[in-house]
Amino acid sequence: MADTEENAPVDWNQMIIKEFRENGGKVGGQFEGATLALLTFTGRKSGTPRTTPVWYMADGDRVVVFGTNAGAPKHPDWYLNVIAEPAVTVEIGTETYPATAVPVEGAERDRLFAAAELLAPVFTEYQAKIERTIPAVAVYRVPSRR
C-alpha cells in the first residue's frame, strides 16, 4: 500500500513538539505529567537545526537530560549532535533560552542518573537491557547580554 497522507507513518516527535508548543509545555498521553523540554541542536552532518523532546530534571542552575534512546543499544542522534556542537536552545514550558550542553561523566553522572531513576523508574529498565552507559548531559543557560 502506498503511503498517503492518511496512512503515512506518524512522526511521534513532531506530534509531541506541536502539542508541547500549543499547550505551554504540557503534553498528554504516555508523557502526561513528565518533565519534558524541547532541545534544539544542530545536525552534525547536515548543519540543519533539529528539535527533539527530552525528559529533563532540574539540578541547581542547570537542567540534565539523558540519552536513554528508550533503551536502544545505540546513543540517540541528538546526543551525538550535541557532543559535536554544544550550542543548543532549550524550551521549558513557555520559556525558550540559549544554552550549552556539556556531557557529565564518572561519579557525577552516576549521582545524576541515580536521582533520575527515582523520578523516572523506567530509566532503570532502559539501562538494564543495554550494554552502553546511558549518557547524562548538563545543559547550562547562556547568560543574556543586556
Average pLDDT, the chain: 91
- Cα separation, 78 vs 67, whole angstroms: 8
pLDDT at 34: 87
pLDDT tens by residue, 136-146: 999 999 988 76
Would you say 136 and 112 are in contact if contact means Cβ atoms under 8 Å apart?
yes
pLDDT over threshold 70, residue 42: yes
pTM of structure: 0.88
- What's the pLDDT tens digit per position in 61-87? 999 999 999 999 999 999 999 999 999
Match 506530534 to its residue by C-alpha cell: 15
What pLDDT score was predicted for residue 6? 44
Question: What does the alpha-carbon distance between residue 12 and residue 53 come to, in Å, rounded to a whole number?
Answer: 10
Beta bridge partner(s), residue 91? 38, 96
Residue 9 is predicted with a pLDDT of 44
User: Contact 38/52 with Cβ under 8 angstroms?
Assistant: yes
Place of cell 537530560: 65
Q: With 70 as the cut, is the pLDDT of residue 7 above it?
A: no
Neighbours of 76 (CB within 10 A): 19
Q: Give the dihedral sign, CA 45/48/52/55.
A: positive
**Hey, what domains does the chain have and what are their CATH numbers?**
12-16+34-141 (2.30.110.10)
